[in-house]
Structures are given as C-alpha cells and as structure tokens.
A and B are shown apart, each in its own frame.
Chain A
C-alpha cells in the first residue's frame, strides 16, 4: 500500500445469493480525497459502501489504512421514526459527550440547540439528513462514507451540506466517499469519480468524465447540467 493511500481495492467482486452485484472493481483513495460514486439505480452503489464497511461478504481485497475510523451516513433509516427518540438521545446511542454533540452541531451550521430536545420523527427531511451526517461525524472519523438519499433534501440545504463537507475536508483532512446523483457535486467537489454499473465503467478525475461515459453509464437517459451551477 502506498503511503498516502487510505483505501486500496483490488479485484473486488460481491455476490449476493449467487447473483453478481459488483464485478472486479479496482480503485484507490488517497487521504483527503473526495471520491464520488456515480451510477444508475441498482448499480450496486450502496452495496459497494456496505462492502467497504465490512457489512457484506466479498472476494478480492479491501485494504483500509491501519486503525482507520469510519463514519457512515446510510441512505435512509426507515425504522427510526417508530421509536420515540430525541435528537440528543440519538447521539447518545454512540456514547459521546455532550460537548462533542454541540461541537458537531455547530460545525454543520445548527446554532439552535433546542433541536436536541426534538423528537427525531418530528424533524423535516432536511434536518433529519443533517442529523444523520452529524451522527456519522460526532466521534470524529477520518473517513466518511455518505450514501446520499435519492430524494429528500432541498437544493438549498444540499448546497450547504456539501460546502460544509468541503470545509471539513480542508480543515481535518477528512476523506469522503460519496454516493451521489448530482453531477454538479461531482464537478465541484470531487477529486475522483467512480462510475459504477456492476462493473467499473470509469475511474479518474471528474474532468475526464465525458458525456459518452455518462451515456454509457445511464443508458443515454441523462441530462447533463454541469454548467448550470456556476459559482
């Protein structure tokens, strides 16, 4: 493993119930990189994140840097709203101090600490998404695996979340692996991009992703809005 690599993946194949979900992936991630994972529904993006987390069986090699601490933002948590749980108690499930909870809330731009008393089930989807990110970050991981929800957060909130992730990356050298559907995010924040549809269709700098690659990835149904988000 090279020195500044935090993750190295070689010949990774994942079969679930004898169906090949991911086939022969090869890529690596450097410390402080933002790797975006693009692909259509059913491409195996969530499976890839879960495999990297050690939650699923696989063939091949996944090598994380020694003693690396990983935070995970799942796509959704369907059962959480069935439990009467305040935001504070949600964080406490991770057995972290109140100081750390406040710190992480400030850092994601939540200034009103009354949110801690709110019931998780009463949060708006944007607020809930932020709490999931804060939950992943509260014990200060070096790597964040972020499975973006297909729908939910409005663009405004999304912008700030990614601006915030970018800030974290700069300040703490946080490495981010991000499943996303928003190409503008890929072009703005990503150091590298992995195009996935069971097989790896591309891996490299976002600038190198051509409309042809994307057409191949999404079967020609994609509308590219790379130039709409000018900042």
Chain B
C-alpha cells in the first residue's frame, strides 16, 4: 500500500492534545508517524517512490470528521441516495466515518443487512458504521438479537423515526443493549402528540395554519428514557438522545449528567442555527423532524454547545428526491441533507461568530462522537490510529451551492449560505477519498 506524507500543515488533534505545525506519515491505513516539520523526510520509510506527498502548507489537518447520524437510504431508496453517493458527500464535507440509520427499506434489523451495508460492493468512499434497528422492523414490539448485530458490525441500536414508546420495550432495549455494550439512540418524539403535525407548535404554526409538534413531545420521551436509565443504573445503560431540539430536553440531559448517568446528546447544525421562522412560506427544505423550534430553543442549543453539555454535532443527513419536496408542506417528507455543510457552518458560526475554540469545534465533529459510539482508532490522529484525515483551509470563505453537491439530493435550507473552512482533501484509512482539485 502506498504511503502518504502530509507536510507543512497545522495539526489539530484535540483528543491527543496536539495543536501545532506537524508532518504526518500515513502507512497501511494507519497513522505511522508524526513529527515536527521537515523531520520525517529524512526518516526511514518516509521517502521514496511509493510515498505520495501532500503539501498542506497553510492548511489545517484534523482527524477525519465523524457523523453519528446519517440516512444513506440503502437498501431500498437508491433514488434519494446510495451508500456510494452519500459517502461521497460525506467525504466532500470532511467526514471519514458515518453511522447509518436503520430506517431503510427493508429496515436494517438483521446481521445480513448490516453486513450488506458494509460490503465493498456498495462503493463507499469512507467508513460506514451501521446502526441497527432496536426492534423487529422498528415496530417497537420485539427486541432484536443485539449480540448478532454487534458482531455483524452494528455500533448502536435505534428505532430512529419510529421512537420506542412502550416503557417496557424501551427498558428491555436499554438493558439488552447494555449487556452487549451497545448504545441506544432514541429519536425522542411522543408520536401520540404529533399526529398530523408538520412543524413546531407555536405562533408560526398557528399563523401558517399548520398543526404543530409541541416541545413536550420531545422532552417527555427524553425524561421517560432518563427515568429508565436511572432504574438501570447498575447495568450502565447508555442512552444517546438524537438531534436534540428543545431547551427542555437539554435540561433533562444536563440534569441526568449531573446525576452521573450515561446520557449523551447530539445537536444538528440546523437546530443551533435556524428557527421556525425559517419555514417562511412553506419552505419544505426547512421541514424536518424534530422541527425547527423557537428562538429560545435554538439559543438553548447554542448555549449547551458552548457549555459542553452537547456531546456531538450530527447532521441527520436525510436526502429526499426533488419531486418529494415539491409538494404541499404537510405532505413533504421530513429531513434535509447536511454532510457537506456541517463543517462550514460550524466554523462560520460556532468558531467565528460565537468564539468557540477551533479544537473544541473539531472535537464535537470527531473525537467526541467517535468516543460516544466507541469507534476505536477514529476521531484522533495519534500514532496507530486509522489514517482518517481532513485537510482544510480554515480561513476560506465560500458559498455552498446545491448544484455542486455529491449527494443525489439537494434538499437543504443552506443553499447559497456562506461557509467558512474549505475542505481540500479528505483521507479515509490512508486513501484520498476527496480532493477538491479533482
């Protein structure tokens, strides 16, 4: 295997505590060596015809980004996205690992589908970690065989999109997952309170004549789940709250953490940037679940990110075909794409506007989500780790245009938005997965 020598760049590896000019040698899919600029060229094995050199002068190097919440739509909905196109979009966005949700057709509730998704024939540009369904068909009734799913490669279980409402099933899910060391991810939505609803409940929904999802539909389930984790304290059950969108849900997570429970949460860029006002006049690219919330909720997301309560930024990348979104708002499917805009928006807003240190922003996009799902050797560039690297120009401002997307779909409210930090190369396990010049 060819080796890659990246020289002249500024390496930021929050997990390893590195922040400085470093050269880095990647070999056999792993990080082989890190040294001060110029040192590696003379060292053994770092020169010669098999070594490809990448000049990263003026650029920043960081562990490849990790998105623990994406919908790659395969199997079954290849017209929206395939594993190949979704991971190409991920690579363009600087991601080297994505965790794929199981709401595929059929639902990924088996070791066979879990393996199928990871097969080289899918043509993934970067590493895909399947998240398996918690229950058979995600129907919330029968628990799947977590040991078998884990050995097939599943990194967590969830019934994302079809939240587990029954207390006893959720308790059993948490306990069974804890026994095999898997996390349980919950899309917290009490669907009994959201029937027929297509945006956040509140004055905007009233004005638009749309039925609303009350914030309690989210926080109520988070509170219920935390009660169950408390009961299962001795089992060390891990609950991860997906795409947190309400101040009340964050408050519950904050409280649970204070009590020493294994409760983590993620926030999507659209939930820390946008509010229900961005729905405008029925913009279906501002329709997702959980919906864009009130300004107070959005501000609570920002506060919680800055305060460290939020463990990860995850995109909830949810591609839909154009024709599916060109319909009446209440009939449009939920979800927006996000893999290509997460880094640019995070740097533009969290770092630039709200002065979060770059290392912490990157940690939320790599080290923390990798640790959260136990993805060993990811989210860091310590020697011996996977050679997953994102190389970007941290100061470059650019405009995101969906017409240039690698994804099959274009459903995003961020078309035309100014981004900061342009990805130059993304390297996945030592191979160049994305090169902005080609």
A and B interact: no
